[in-house]
Amino acid sequence: MEPEGNFVTTRIVILWRLFLIRLLTLQLTFALAPTNALPGCPQRCGDVEIPYPFGIGPSCSREGFTLNCTFSDGTYKPFLNNIEFLNISFLLGQARIANGVSSQCYNSKNHSLTYNNWQMNLAASSPYRFSSTLNKFTTVGCDTLAYIAISDTAHRYRSGCVSVCEDKESLTNGSCSGIGCCQTAIPKGIGYYAVRFDDNFNSSDTYWFSPCGYAVLVEEGAFEFSTSYVTTGALRGRKLPLVLDWAVRNKTCRQARRNTTSYACVSDNSECVDSGNGPGYLCNCSKGYQGNPYLPHGCRDIDECANKNGSSCSGVCHNTQGGYWCSCPPGTHGNPYNGTCYQNQNQKLPLAVKLATGIGISLLLILIIFLCIHIICEKRKLIKVKEKNFQEHGGKLLLEEIGKQQGLGFKIFTEEELEQATNKFHRNNILGHGGYGTVYKGILKDNRVVAIKKAKIIGERQKKEFGKEMLILSQINHKNIVKLLGCCLQVEVPILVYEYVSNGTLFQLIHRNSHGIHLSLEARLRIALESAEALAYLHSLASPPIIHGDIKSSNILLDDHFTAKVSDFGASMLAPRDEAQFVTLVQGTCGYLDPEYLQTYQLTTKSDVYSFGVVLLELITGKKALYFEGNEEETNLSSNFLSAMKENRFGELLDDRIKNDEEMERISEIAQLAKACLNVKGEERPLMKEVAEELDRLRKMKQHPWDQHSNPTEIESLLSNPSSYCGAEITSHYSLEKKAVLNIESGR
């Protein structure tokens, strides 16, 4: 027989091991917090939780449960087509949506009736049916008779509800008994409804009430009748909650279990329940489990011991998978389920038990201390990394200069502020991709909408000069240049914050016609002039001068009034004064790059002039910088243009939307200006200031026709140097893959 002391010690060791296992299990549970969405999919859209089988996008949802997360009224909301979802419950198999109120209004001036009738058609194959238990068809008004036409897959029904009233005293708040308000039920399995009013019942005789009557299918518990609905017409144009019953259609549980690939109840410890509203089924977690039964391992054990209301244990509670059991505390005996545990007489804890308990508590405290130390060290390490990045990017110098210059509208943001503004840089907030990074739409704490750019890489020279260059760029204040509002320097590659320009890019306006408008020659000249003036400002008036380095139509944004704003300084640099002007890596966009820059690695203001010349060609030809001819071969616009000018067939390239005899003189002069900008030799190209002046003169030709031929010497001087840039030379510089065309469209 084993000695009693050894038995007690062995039991204590076992209990201690069980305690450690339980502690590690709890830590793992907290580390892997349960989620109700598929891994990698959004869990929320605005304030609405999106549980699977619902999801944002088809890859995140089961068929039939796909929603769109749309920015509306200042926040993100989930929609199915044009139906807004207010909340979703997978436990009850229900969802609330916003439903419009139908109205019939009497016009006393012309004695006519106007209607705003709503209807909703949920496809028979869709998961949704109108709840027959929670919704009521409701009519509001004096002398109002409304009908609801409803149908399921096999039958059509029609029902009506009439509300009348004699005077204001007959109306009662909260009462829907037929006086001013009437309600009626709908049958099960309904997926379609439409509202109609009876013309013979209207408010033409009730001059002291609202001239409108209303009807709506609404959640009964969310609607409370108010006399103001009748007296003031407060319901007109509103939307009210409507409850949908949803299920996995159109099989019973028995039928669904036969096909394991499509069976929705995939979690262990889940159960199938037939739908109570139309054919189909729902999934529930088994008793003792909770979570999402539509996800693998979605049903998790309920810890009844942690939730006092989940167990009836008055003693020591022991949780098990799907249940629990109870025992009396040490030193007591009795029935722990009903609270009758009595103290054992003359029983003392053995010394070994006391010793083991003390050791266990000590080890637990040591473990907690080590965990706290580890967390503190990691946080300090992260802070040091952020401080290092901040210093390397010139943050200290930038802070000092911002403090000196009062009223400078430039802010240094933290990484946390920008993550909050972009929902942690969620892909739904992406505005576009460029050669230098990704641009996100963000909303700051003060509700300002901004464009936030995360660059891909930054060179060592740029890193050292970044703070100084940010200070210079922040002082640029021109109506045709996107304003730089701030930056974040805590990250390895700085993040830039710009003002948000809402109307897309010049590339989209020319080549995609996203606005569906006719772009006249006058409008094209205005956009070209505004862009040229912005570049002339950077080259001539900024101190020091700034070279943009990536001028293209997709980097010219348009605001609500289609005013041009030059953006994306990802390739920009201050005008160099020493050997730093020679770069080791050519940057820019294929189709717009200065051929002299490609050969000499020397970026100058004349490089921007060349790129702007390509933009001018896009405006008058409507073609992309790189496009495909009928033989499916990639064609360079500038090369084709120069060849056409040389062969006197430039008219073939013109955009048909602006080609007319009255404007051919101005179009020809624009072409000559573009040709001058595309000169193979940078020194023979005009200055950006001269380009802007010439565009301004061409705009005024329409306004002052008597001045069309003024200053011929000046024009001849500007355009006298013909381009010797042949197509063969261009081909040698631009023999890149055809996918480079996509890079033109994606920049912002």
Per DSSP, what are the bridge partners of residue 332? 343
CA distance 257 to 253: 6
Question: Before 544, cis peptide (omega within 30)?
Answer: yes
CB 217, CB 148: distance < 8 Å? yes
Q: Is 268 a catalytic residue?
A: no
Alpha helices by DSSP H, listed for 243-328, are 253-257
Angle, CA 294 vertex, CA 288 and CA 295 arms, to 5° = 90
- Write down the catalytic residue from 143, 245, 301, 550: 550
End-to-end CA distance of the chain: 84
Q: Give the Å distances, CA to CA, from 343 to 329, 333, 338, 441.
A: 9, 7, 15, 67
Quick check: 519 and 510 in contact, CB under 8 A?
yes
Local structure of 97: helix, strand or coil: strand
φ, ψ at 617 (rounded to 5°): -65, -40
Question: Residue positions in the annotated binding site?
Answer: 454
Is residue 95 within 8 A of residue 58, CB to CB? The reply is no
Render the burial of 551-590: b for 16+ CB within 10 Å, e for the rest: bbbbbbbbbeebebbbbbbbbbbbebeeeeeebeeebbbb
Q: What is the SS3 assignment for 612?
A: helix
- Rounded to an integer, what distance in angstroms lies between the CA atom of residue 528 and that of residue 419? 36
- Spell out the residues 6+ positions from residue 585 whose beta carbon is closer than 8 angstroms to its own: none
SS3 percent helix, strand, coil of the chain, rounded to 5, is 35, 25, 40
Which residues carry a binding-site annotation for ATP?
454
Cα separation, 252 vs 245, whole angstroms:
16
CA distances from 585 to 365, 552, 626, 647, 656 (A): 57, 19, 22, 36, 39
Exposure letters 488-519 (e unless 16+ CB within 10 A, then b):
bbbbebbbbbbbbbebbbbbbbbbeeeeeeeb
Measured CA to CA, the distance from residue 16 to residue 10 in angstroms comes to 10
Pairing of strands 55-56, 66-72: parallel
Instruction: Fill in the amino acid letter for 740.
Output: A
Residue found by looking up tokens 């203001």 in the block: 605
**Smallest Cα–Cα separation from 616: which of 533, 678, 568?**
678
Q: How many other C-beta atoms are found inside a 10 Å radius of the C-beta of residue 245? A: 26
| Rounded (5°) CA angle 656-660-665 | 120
CA dist 229 and 575 (Å) reads 68
Q: In what order do the strands lie in the sheet with 83-89?
A: 55-56, 66-72, 75-80, 83-89, 94-100, 239-246, 128-130
Could you please report the per-residue DSSP string of 166-215?
Answer: SSGGG--TT--SSBSEEEE---SS--EEEEEE-TTS-SSS-TTS-SEEEE
Determine the 3-state secondary structure of 40 from DSSP.
coil
For the chain, how many residues are written?
748
Spatial distance between the Cα atoms of 586 and 531, rounded to a whole number of angstroms: 24
Residue type for position 425: F
Angle at 83 between CA 78 and CA 87, to 5 degrees: 50
> What's the 3-state SS for 633-700?
CEEEHHHHHHHHHHCCCHHHHCCCCCCCHHHHHHHHHHHHHHHHHCCCCHHHCCCHHHHHHHHHHHHH
Enzyme catalytic residues: 550
